[in-house]
Amino acid sequence: MDFEDIQYCRVVRNGRILEVTLNRPEVMNALYSPAHFELSRVWDAYAADPELWVAIVTGAGDRAFSAGNDLKATAAGVKREYVPDGFGGLVSRFNLQKPVIAAVNGIAMGGGFELALACDLIIASDNAFFALSEPRVGLAAIGGGMHRLVRSLPMQTAMGILLTGRRVTAQEGLQLGFVNEVVPAGQAMEGARRWAAQILECSPVSIRTTKTAALQGLSATDLESAFRTQYPVVMEMMESEDFIEGPRAFAEKRKPVWRNR
């Protein structure tokens, strides 16, 4: 994909990191169908590119990560089309093995919060807040928010957020456990890049294996079933060059040179 031929986001390659910026600051990075389709193509390209190992998604400006669905566009008659990969091209994408980090730099409401929850890590600025506010406008968080939140938090805690549509600060998100780190305002991307750098120290094959097997294991009925399930990605890792390079580099007291194969 030609990342220059895009309209609703900015995409930058930063070494092994793909940095995706939702670029509609005039509407607090609210998104609608054309943007979702465009972002789907971006994530398709990320998944297919062996040179890209980690992605970060953030919002343009300092006010919002994303305010969710562009209700004004809907009210103006812009047709809403079904997007198979969901909000931001990500919330319904369950086969992405590579990690994605959300750098939340302000408001993450509705679909914006759902997009952040669909990421593997959330780094939030201290002025950020989160809300699944759909019930306040006669809707529901059907973009995965309901189901991800009750799997991330204790039931009553999740319901306290879902049934009120209330705003959750970044600090509260950290205390509840769905935010990994809170950083000063304006430093969400820097924080996300630090986490990405730590991921890049690991084998990309191992990272894909870990993410995929961990998520697939959630469908098991109990811990023993999850443990005893044979995951194809684990066998692929054990047959990879990185599986040999890691122990060899450790024995030779040097940094490993990951080959991603």
Residue 93 corresponds to which tokens in the numbers above?
């994408």
State how far the Cα of 74 lies from the Cα of 76, in Å rounded to an integer: 5
Segment holding 58, helix H or strand E: strand 54-59
Residues in a beta bridge with 59:
22
Give me the catalytic one of 38, 134, 245, 252: 134
Segment holding 62, helix H or strand E: none
Give me the catalytic one of 114, 172, 224, 239: 114
At residue 176, what is the residue type?
L
Are 98 and 53 in contact, with CB atoms under 8 Å apart?
Answer: yes
Q: Is 181 a catalytic residue?
A: no
**What contacts 202, CB < 8 A, 6 or more positions away?**
none
Q: Is 114 a catalytic residue?
A: yes
**What contacts 13, CB < 8 A, 6 or more positions away?**
3, 19, 52
Residue (of 68, 75, 83) closest to 30 by Cα position? 68
Which residues are marked as active site? 114, 134
